[in-house]
Amino acid sequence: MALIKSMVSSKTNEWSTPQWFFDILNAEFNFTLDPCSTKDNCKCQKNYTIEDDGLLYDWSNDVVFMNPPYGGNTGSWIKKALDESKKGATIVCLIVSSTDRSYWHDYIFPFAAQIRFIRGRLTFGNAKSTAPFASAVVIFSNRNYNPKLVFYDKSASKQRIEAEASQLKLFKEKPWKN
């Protein structure tokens, strides 16, 4: 039991989304809000930190990228995502793929527009190894997605390599200009 506890214990419950993974999603959705950020890891110009408490704000006019703090409050963030999608927002959630949790059964399975299961595990923040859990991308939106369930056929590590290669190719073709 000590081994399992040590694998999931951490000094923080806020982990930065891998930039390459965010970039893939951002290319598809063009995010306008990150409601679960810190000053150091925000992904959008418009963002809320733990001090702001993003749960208190209206997201209905935004395209939201949400990587909620890991811990006992994920269900509140998922319910907020569902509620805001009913008001017109599109919310893309990067969450732990713990399908036994009640919020999966109460909010995600019945109401998500699409659920994307990530093959392999992501490496968050400055961690030296992958997360000790699988992740999923859950989309709440008024748009209909088909299919509702998606299983990525490439592992997270292969997606990262391809994303980085694509960025390098872009850089070589269109170098930064001052």
Phi, psi of 151 (to 5 degrees): -120, 110
State the pLDDT confidence band at 155, using cuts at 50, 70 and 90: low
State the pLDDT confidence band at 165, using cuts at 50, 70 and 90: low
Peptide bond into 147 cis (omega under 30): yes
Residue 66 has which token pair?
A: 């949400």
The residues facing 34 across adjacent strands are 47
Average pLDDT of the chain is 80
State the pLDDT confidence band at 178, using cuts at 50, 70 and 90: very low
For the domain that residue 159 is a member of, what is the CATH number?
Answer: 3.40.50
Q: Is residue 1 part of a domain?
A: no
Average pLDDT over residues 49-67: 95
Range of the domain at 131: 14-173
Q: Is residue 67 part of a domain?
A: yes
Q: Higher pLDDT residue, 58 or 129?
A: 58
Query: Taking the alpha carbons of 20, 105, 103, 10 in that order, is the dihedral positive or negative?
Result: negative
The DSSP element (H or E) to which 116 belongs, if any, is strand 114-119
52: left (phi over 0), alpha (psi -120 to 50) or beta: alpha
Q: Is residue 44 part of a domain?
A: yes
Task: Say how many domains are in the chain.
Answer: 1
Q: Is residue 3 part of a domain?
A: no
Helix/strand/coil percent split, the chain, to 5 = 35, 20, 45
Q: Is residue 114 part of a domain?
A: yes
Q: Is residue 64 part of a domain?
A: yes
